[in-house]
Structure 1
């Protein structure tokens, strides 16, 4: 903090209590960056540099979606996944088709699927004579994330899905004990082939196992090769495999087989018959838990699911992405925030098209911090030097700083709050757009640090003025 206080003494910051000074951009060009900061407890902004410019926010867009989700759905909102069938059960055999009615639960995993299928076994069903049919009618579509073709197989590109399971990734579990180096697939998807050529890597450290072995995926095949140190015994790495519906089918097959069930006889997609009896159901964790993972770890799939869920609740059966956009815009307008600079594609910031202004994002921060779910919203943000995407940043500032990060090619962004020792809070937004963005992370961090130093321990006290 001493080096930042030195900058304060040198008079290089913007303004405090009405005293204007030059904003130190730390090597950034004025047209590359937008900066906005204002006290949460009320008062005029401390800095407004290109605050109304339309900027690509990358993952700081998740804050807009999170704010809308808390307001429209509530922190206790849950997704319900159901297995239904109108077919009779005779001597432990379901005599017809079983429908998996998906809700898009963003954190539904293999354990949840085993528990769901276990309800069928507890009902006495041991065989599904008909087909497993996926009812995918909850959304009209999953929206778009265009111009990321080169990243199609990356886990962050997994699209939301009504039957999403394990975020559509499987895990590779590595072992190197008395039986030698080897790898297993978890869950054991029956249609995925796994081949491995692993040798003993000796007594060296493991670190990230993905740096020790080569993992390649192609359709329904996974190959692993390399030297596996003994310290990697128990290490895990995820892989993105299969198309969404095929991943769901094989996940169900693995769960049903683990439970000792037989069938189903086939597979497909169809809308469940109206009024079909519910044979099993699973309620998700509350939305608040999803927000934690969405923002702490910048999960694109979860953010896009929240966006689509807003659309489903806004207008069931309509164009879901369009309804989601209406819901977000209506939330902003109702809060008195102009949506003029807003461009939405999927609500996650995984977009070359999405735009906000620093002022809009800042006003969302102010509205969230002053609203009924302020604690829930702020608890979802990464804590500087401690967790999430800020675990290795701002260690000198520490836990008083909570900010959402944003990273894309040509984009770096930060948006969040600093809590002063006085107990008052400063909302801060810094967005960098341009071909040099990748190299300007440190400059962006320095701007944030300067604003914190400028505000000082008695941040915002007596800074009267309108918003």
Structure 2
């Protein structure tokens, strides 16, 4: 009995020891590194009002898109439209509504061609008695459709990239190949344009997809003209879309862009280091230079009779990164006071968070750039610190003042037009297009 009692007491003691050892060790609280801001702000007359390390180069991330927007506006103009031309390489039987041969596409570098635009092209082909193509849809290397996330997601092999784009177009032309997102896009477009949702356009391409930018394209059937460049830039800037690199590709090289920024801002060429036109990669500008770039952008907008708000997002007006990342600027007493551009990189250069823009205050507009270098792993805290800095800037200069919103962000087909050669224009919604049919050129245009 004593042995049993001793054994029981031993088990109880062991259990107590195990229980004591299993107690969780108190966690040592992680002490986050302080967020180190750099900034520069000045009045419209150029007088500096706030400054901390303004001449230390930082990675501007997607703020580079302001430079790309300015460059393209100066070189192409705000009303520039990209053309995509569709050809029949074969013969059309109107009775059977069949193109015996290939549908050849010569892209002109449209950076914002999507399924909605393909729907317009399909409607035009149906108007021209083409419901079926026995051959393939064949594109050149300047036809892009859908998003790629810029150089980060782009297929490096141009043939594979072209095949991807041709396949996307083939699927968009045929409702039998649509997924849920494409069906939803058609429904939205049909309702917006007053079309029959139950009767989508249909062009069945039986022969697959191909890439060929050299061969004779055949007879031109349809020309698709994009919405104006200014509207395209606003869409790219609101969502900070890295495929703005496609816009730059129609203007020149990244070295050309860097040279343009240096000349326009009056700094040595070596002060501008750009690896991409989107802000991906390792780029270098100083906060002071970013503010100078903003000033040049604003002046160009004024000369072209555009508002900055029609090209860059306004916190509290537009969807996208500015409104999402800075909620106190988007809502409350300072809503719509700031128009600008965000920049974010999670790992490159240790991460970076940037906000550059124009703040409307009771004492006048202020141009500013605020950034947190080496912000990787703490982007939320970095943005909160930047937002607090902007709120303090507004508060010390008479408080934020509202600015007008630029209206709803447009869909990619809004303002786009499709020309049926020798026939008529399929107009944009809400009225008759000002575009007129164009004569067929003696040689195909490959931009």
Q: TM-score, normalization: structure 1?
A: 0.61
What residue number does 1:93 align with? 98
Q: CA RMSD in A?
A: 3.6
Q: CA deviation at 1:122?
A: 1.7
How is 1:274-423 mapped onto 2 (pairs within 5 angstroms)? Answer: 274=216, 276-301=218-243, 303-311=244-252, 323-349=253-279, 351-371=280-300, 372-373=303-304, 375-388=306-319, 390=326, 393=329, 395=331, 396-409=333-346, 410-422=351-363
Structure 2 distance, partners of 1:113, 1:101, is: 14
Aligned residue among 156, 173, 191 for 1:252 = 173
1:431 aligns with 2:371: yes
Q: Tell me if structure 2 keeps the 8 A contact 1:339–1:360.
A: no
Residues 53-86 of structure 1, C-alpha deviation per residue, up to 9 Å, x if partnerless? 2211222221111111222121111111111134
In structure 2, the CA distance between the partners of 1:253 and 1:384, relative to structure 1 (3 Å rule), is: closer
How is 1:58-457 mapped onto 2 (pairs within 5 angstroms)? Answer: 58-91=61-94, 92-137=97-142, 159=154, 243-254=164-175, 259-271=201-213, 273-274=215-216, 276-301=218-243, 303-311=244-252, 323-349=253-279, 351-371=280-300, 372-373=303-304, 375-388=306-319, 390=326, 393=329, 395=331, 396-409=333-346, 410-422=351-363, 424-435=364-375, 436-456=378-398
Residues 275-307 of structure 1, C-alpha deviation per residue, up to 9 Å, x if partnerless? 743111211111111122222222222x22222
Q: CA deviation at 1:419?
A: 1.8
Q: Tell me if structure 2 keeps the 8 A contact 1:304–1:346.
A: yes
Structure 1 distance, partners of 2:211, 2:149, is: 22
Structure 2 distance, partners of 1:443, 1:58, is: 18
Q: Tell me if structure 2 keeps the 8 A contact 1:383–1:390.
A: no
SS at match of 1:340: helix
1:39 aligns with 2:33: no
Q: CA deviation at 1:429?
A: 0.4
What residue number does 2:427 align with? none
Q: Radius of gyration: which is bigger? A: 2
In structure 2, the CA distance between the partners of 1:283 and 1:144, relative to structure 1 (3 Å rule), is: closer
Name the count of aligned residue pairs: 327
SS at match of 2:68: helix
Q: CA deviation at 1:392?
A: 5.3
Q: TM-score, normalization: structure 2?
A: 0.64
Q: Tell me if structure 2 keeps the 8 A contact 1:97–1:133.
A: yes
Structure 1 distance, partners of 2:173, 2:254, is: 30
SS at match of 2:169: helix
Q: CA deviation at 1:160?
A: 9.5
Higher fraction of helix: 2
Q: CA deviation at 1:438?
A: 4.1
Q: Tell me if structure 2 keeps the 8 A contact 1:106–1:305.
A: yes
Q: Select the structure with the greater relative contact order (CA < 8 A; seq sep ≥ 6).
A: 1
Residues 99-134 of structure 1, C-alpha deviation per residue, up to 9 Å, x if partnerless? 122234233222321221222222223332222111
Q: Tell me if structure 2 keeps the 8 A contact 1:384–1:397.
A: no
SS at match of 1:124: coil
Residues 27-66 of structure 1, C-alpha deviation per residue, up to 9 Å, x if partnerless? 99999432111112x1322233222222112222211111
Structure 2 distance, partners of 1:384, 1:144, is: 23
In structure 2, the CA distance between the partners of 1:145 and 1:78, relative to structure 1 (3 Å rule), is: closer
Q: CA deviation at 1:416?
A: 0.5
Structure 2 distance, partners of 1:132, 1:29, is: 55
Q: CA deviation at 1:337?
A: 4.5
1:56 aligns with 2:59: yes
In structure 2, the CA distance between the partners of 1:74 and 1:135, relative to structure 1 (3 Å rule), is: same
Higher fraction of strand: 1
In structure 2, the CA distance between the partners of 1:87 and 1:458, relative to structure 1 (3 Å rule), is: closer
